[in-house]
Chains A and B, each alone.
Chain A
């Protein structure tokens, strides 16, 4: 991705263009108002001078006017003022010679005074070749001429132009620079996410987006995206495992069921025999259904999200109920069954699923522990975290197999002879994860100690 293709850069350029337009408009407004003001000022001065000269003529006559004009022409040069007096035929009588010549090109108004801009080709300094000229026709037909160079206006024009140029170039430069900088910052954030997403998709969502160094909006966006990727990954894995496992574990019992029926149909049999076979088939189907249901429960627990409407579950009460349900089963095996429960431990959760998890743990403990063994279930608070522990003194699980038994359909060799589908602990694990709890398997020396460690409520 190029910086010039980023939204931020484009916005910076767009802002620059708008800003340029505003700057140009503002400067032009200032220029024209100043220009107008300068011209008014200049015309005022010229009018004043002509007025003074007219007064002199009226009170003291044309000769005195000649003197004054010659005098002013002599001293007025440094003020950039020029003076001349011509007769009615526009021939110079006194004052500036050039000015008298320029009079020929002035179109005289009918009014008392005529103002006009005129350029003087003969001027040596190029800045002073533009003149503002004011002509007054005296009653005697003489023309009194006063002129002023327009140097200040030209300067104003040039200054305005240079200011404009600097402003336009500077803002454009700054806009491009800041646009590029912002674009780069945004781009690096977006690029990280963009590349991270590519990798995530390519890796089947196992890879996640690298976190930015700074805790900014990209950090929060990345965290959320990673959360989403994580969830997609879990769903994908769950789905794949379910299909794998359905194929793996339902295929053989289905085959068994089918062959049982096919073999039965090979020849005719007595009604009693049919009944027995049918009873076996129903049992087979029942087993299939229960495996299927267990798989679905796991998939559902894994795909579920914590819900807002989860109620607080009183773990103490739940454990007492479950202990009451299972104590008799342990008693039937002459196992001791001990329950120690801390009061008022609650977690947000799904009562049915939590009950299912604890009952799976209890069923495992009772099933795999020998007659006259010891089963113990406790609920304790550790660092304000409720911990449910089911321990037994049965064969336990070798340390090397602890990870494996949490996977679906994994049964230890020692357990293969007892009924079960190898899904119990997987379901407990899925339910624990759903509740943000940790399932930990420990050596009870001898036996197994399984703990469900919940987050503090």
Chain B
């Protein structure tokens, strides 16, 4: 345990040197019966600036989630005595809309569908990369997400009109393929956050398998050519070991 947490420390260092940023500290409840896994997560998330509580069983976790005000819940699917999904169902029945990230060792398509159907907002299969967990937690953060539907998205001098589908940078119009448009939209909606390759494949293409090749990188590099080429300030950054981030400052 001691050794494990030491090595965990370093993974975080490795990841965080590559421009991970957590401007929006959140209050997170982890409902997970595996104490070691929970300890890692707590350490990693609190070092990333979040406040983290832990519940080791479903009953206690549900009680906590019902009485305390959290920004995000991380719920393990298989808890002693009950399915994590029943906790989510109970929460949603009590009109608690806190975003829920489901962690599961069950990775089949049907399991994912069942998880999202029960009211989960995202589904991550074990074993996962910690960077993937961080990115998804970040993306689920309610405080940073625009609540109302917007017509325009923008970052620095990059502008996207969701009605007319026009994209411009510094007033100069950029012509994008429909899929490139959706890719940029996904990045813009998560600007300043890290978006992983898996998240992009899921959100832009609606596939949730692991591509063996760099297919997402190729699409990103084409998009980068269109929005960053000939501009001094680069917006689309590669986050090593994690994914991509659209942000103004390096």
Chain A positions within 8 Å of B, measured between CB atoms, are 261, 274-275, 278-279, 281-282, 286, 289-290, 292-294, 296-297, 300, 304, 321, 324-326, 328-329, 332, 350, 352-353, 355-356, 359-360, 363, 366-367, 419-421, 424
Inter-subunit contact A278/B218 (CB<8 Å): no
Inter-subunit contact A326/B205 (CB<8 Å): no
Count residues of B near A (Cβ-Cβ below 8 Å).
27
**Partner-binding segment picked from B39-47, B69-77, B94-102, B207-215:** B207-215
What's the Cα separation between A286 and B215 when bound, in Å?
Answer: 17
Known: A278-B14, A289-B127. A328 touches B211 (CB 8 A): no
Q: What is the 8 Å Cβ interface bit string for chain B, positions 194-231, against chain A (1 contact, 0 not)?
A: 00000000000101111111110011001000000000
Inter-subunit contact B14/A352 (CB<8 Å): no
Residue of A nearest to B240 (CB): A279
Of the A-B pairs whose beta carbons lie under 8 Å apart in the complex, a sample of 8, sorted by A's number, is A261-B7, A275-B13, A275-B14, A293-B125, A294-B210, A329-B215, A329-B218, A363-B213
Inter-subunit contact B210/A290 (CB<8 Å): yes
Inter-subunit contact B207/A352 (CB<8 Å): yes
Q: Which residues of A contact B109 (CB under 8 A)?
A: 350, 352-353
With both chains docked as a complex, state the minimum distance between the C-beta of A300 and any C-beta of chain B, in angstroms.
6
What's the Cα separation between A366 and B214 when bound, in Å?
Answer: 11
Residue of A nearest to B219 (CB): A328
Q: Which residues of A contact B108 (CB under 8 A)?
A: 300, 304
With both chains docked as a complex, state the minimum distance between the C-beta of B127 and any C-beta of chain A, in angstroms.
5
Inter-subunit contact A286/B129 (CB<8 Å): yes
Residue of A nearest to B221 (CB): A332
With both chains docked as a complex, state the minimum distance between the C-beta of B204 and any C-beta of chain A, in angstroms.
9
With both chains docked as a complex, state the minimum distance between the C-beta of A365 and any C-beta of chain B, in angstroms.
11
Residue of B nearest to A288 (CB): B127
Judged by a CB distance under 8 angstroms, whether B179 is at the interface is yes
Inter-subunit contact A292/B207 (CB<8 Å): no
Inter-subunit contact B212/A328 (CB<8 Å): no
Contact of B212 among A261, A321, A360 (CB under 8 A): A360
Known: A279-B241, A296-B107. A424 touches B212 (CB 8 A): yes
Judged by a CB distance under 8 angstroms, whether B11 is at the interface is yes
Q: Which residues of A contact B10 (CB under 8 A)?
A: 274-275, 278
Inter-subunit contact A329/B209 (CB<8 Å): no
Q: What is the 8 Å Cβ interface bit string for chain B, positions 114-135, against chain A (1 contact, 0 not)?
A: 0000000000010101000000
With both chains docked as a complex, state the minimum distance between the C-beta of B7 and any C-beta of chain A, in angstroms.
8
Inter-subunit contact B212/A278 (CB<8 Å): no
Inter-subunit contact A355/B207 (CB<8 Å): yes
Inter-subunit contact B218/A332 (CB<8 Å): yes
Known: A293-B107, A296-B107. A278 touches B11 (CB 8 A): yes
With both chains docked as a complex, state the minimum distance between the C-beta of A375 and any C-beta of chain B, in angstroms.
13
Q: Which residues of B contact A297 (CB under 8 A)?
A: 209
What's the Cα separation between A419 and B209 when bound, in Å?
Answer: 18
Chain B positions within 8 Å of A, measured between CB atoms, are 7, 10-11, 13-14, 17, 107-109, 125, 127, 129, 179, 205, 207-215, 218-219, 222, 241
Residue of B nearest to A357 (CB): B209
Inter-subunit contact A363/B211 (CB<8 Å): yes
With both chains docked as a complex, state the minimum distance between the C-beta of B223 and any C-beta of chain A, in angstroms.
10
Inter-subunit contact B212/A352 (CB<8 Å): no
What's the Cα separation between A150 and B190 when bound, in Å?
Answer: 117
With both chains docked as a complex, state the minimum distance between the C-beta of B109 and any C-beta of chain A, in angstroms.
5
Contact of A326 among B13, B14, B127, B215 (CB under 8 A): B215
What's the Cα separation between A360 and B11 when bound, in Å?
Answer: 31
Q: Which residues of B contact A366 (CB under 8 A)?
A: 213
Residue of A nearest to B205 (CB): A325
Inter-subunit contact B207/A282 (CB<8 Å): no
With both chains docked as a complex, state the minimum distance between the C-beta of A314 and any C-beta of chain B, in angstroms.
13
Q: Which residues of A contact B129 (CB under 8 A)?
A: 282, 286, 289
Instruction: Count chain A CB atoms within 10 A of each CB in B107, B127, B218 and give the residue with the most.
Output: B218
Q: Which residues of B contact A329 (CB under 8 A)?
A: 213-215, 218
What's the Cα separation between A274 and B211 when bound, in Å?
Answer: 30
Q: Which residues of A contact B14 (CB under 8 A)?
A: 275, 278-279, 282
Residue of A nearest to B213 (CB): A363
Q: Which residues of A contact B210 (CB under 8 A)?
A: 290, 293-294
With both chains docked as a complex, state the minimum distance between the C-beta of B182 and any C-beta of chain A, in angstroms.
11
With both chains docked as a complex, state the minimum distance between the C-beta of A208 and any C-beta of chain B, in angstroms.
29
With both chains docked as a complex, state the minimum distance between the C-beta of A268 and any C-beta of chain B, in angstroms.
14
Residue of B nearest to A327 (CB): B218
What's the Cα separation between A229 and B131 when bound, in Å?
Answer: 44
Given A293-B210, A329-B215, 19 further pairs, Cβ under 8 A: A275-B13, A278-B14, A286-B129, A290-B212, A292-B127, A293-B107, A293-B125, A294-B210, A297-B209, A304-B108, A328-B218, A353-B109, A355-B207, A356-B209, A360-B212, A363-B215, A367-B213, A419-B212, A424-B212
Q: Which residues of A contact B241 (CB under 8 A)?
A: 279, 282
Contact of B211 among A289, A332, A352, A359 (CB under 8 A): A359
Q: Which residues of A contact B107 (CB under 8 A)?
A: 293, 296, 300
Residue of A nearest to B9 (CB): A278
Contact of A328 among B17, B207, B222 (CB under 8 A): B222
With both chains docked as a complex, state the minimum distance between the C-beta of A57 and any C-beta of chain B, in angstroms.
111
